Amino acid sequence: MVTTAEPLPRATAHRPRAVAVRHLGPHWYATVMGTAVLATAGHRLSPAPLALWAAVWSLALALLAVLLTARALHWVHHRDQARAHLLDPATAPFYGCLAMALLAVGGGALTVGRDWTHAGAVVALGAVLFAAGTAVGLAAAVAVPYLMAVHHRVRLSQASPVWLLPLVAPMVSAAVGPLLVPWLPAGQARQTLLLGCVALFGLSLLATLLMLPLVFARLLTGGPLPLALTPALFLVLGPLGQSTTAAGQFADAAPGVLPAPYAEGLRALAVLYGVPVTGFALLWCCLAAAHVLRARRHGMRFAMTWWAFTFPVGTCVTGAESLARHTGLAAFGWLAVGLYVALAAAWTAAAVPTVRGLVSGELLAAPRRAPAAPLPATARTR
The C-alpha atoms of residue 311 and residue 35 are separated, in whole angstroms, by: 8
**What pLDDT score was predicted for residue 79?**
82
* 254 contacts 266 by C-beta, under 8 angstroms: yes
Q: What is the three-class DSSP state of 370?
A: coil
Greater confidence (364 vs 319) lies with 319
**What pLDDT score was predicted for residue 371?**
40
**What pLDDT score was predicted for residue 22?**
74
- Candidate from 101-110, 111-120, 203-212, 314-323 with smallest mean pLDDT: 111-120
Q: Which domains does the chain have, with CATH numbers?
A: 16-360 (1.50.10.150)
**What pLDDT score was predicted for residue 249?**
97
- Candidate from 119-123, 192-196, 321-325 with smallest mean pLDDT: 119-123
Greater confidence (363 vs 103) lies with 103
pLDDT tens column, 138-182: 999 999 999 988 888 888 888 899 999 999 999 999 999 999 999
341 burial class (0-12, 13-18, 19+ CB within 10 angstroms)?
exposed
**What pLDDT score was predicted for residue 153?**
81
253-258 average pLDDT score = 95
108-112 average pLDDT score = 94
DSSP string, 137-203: HHHHHHHHHHHIIIII---GGG--GGGGHHHHHHHHHHHHGGGGGGGSPTTHHHHHHHHHHHHHHHH
pLDDT at 87 over 70: yes
pLDDT tens column, 12-67: 443 555 566 777 888 999 999 999 999 999 999 998 889 999 999 999 999 999 99
The C-alpha atoms of residue 98 and residue 82 are separated, in whole angstroms, by: 14
* 133 contacts 169 by C-beta, under 8 angstroms: yes
Q: Rounded to two decimals, what is the model's pTM?
A: 0.89
pLDDT tens column, 302-313: 999 999 999 999
Greater confidence (12 vs 188) lies with 188
Greater confidence (370 vs 81) lies with 81
* 30 contacts 304 by C-beta, under 8 angstroms: yes
Q: What is the three-class DSSP state of 375?
A: coil
* 246 contacts 201 by C-beta, under 8 angstroms: yes
**What pLDDT score was predicted for residue 373?**
36
Per-residue pLDDT band for 9 (boundaries 50, 70, 90) equals: very low
pLDDT tens column, 210-238: 999 999 999 999 889 999 999 999 999 99
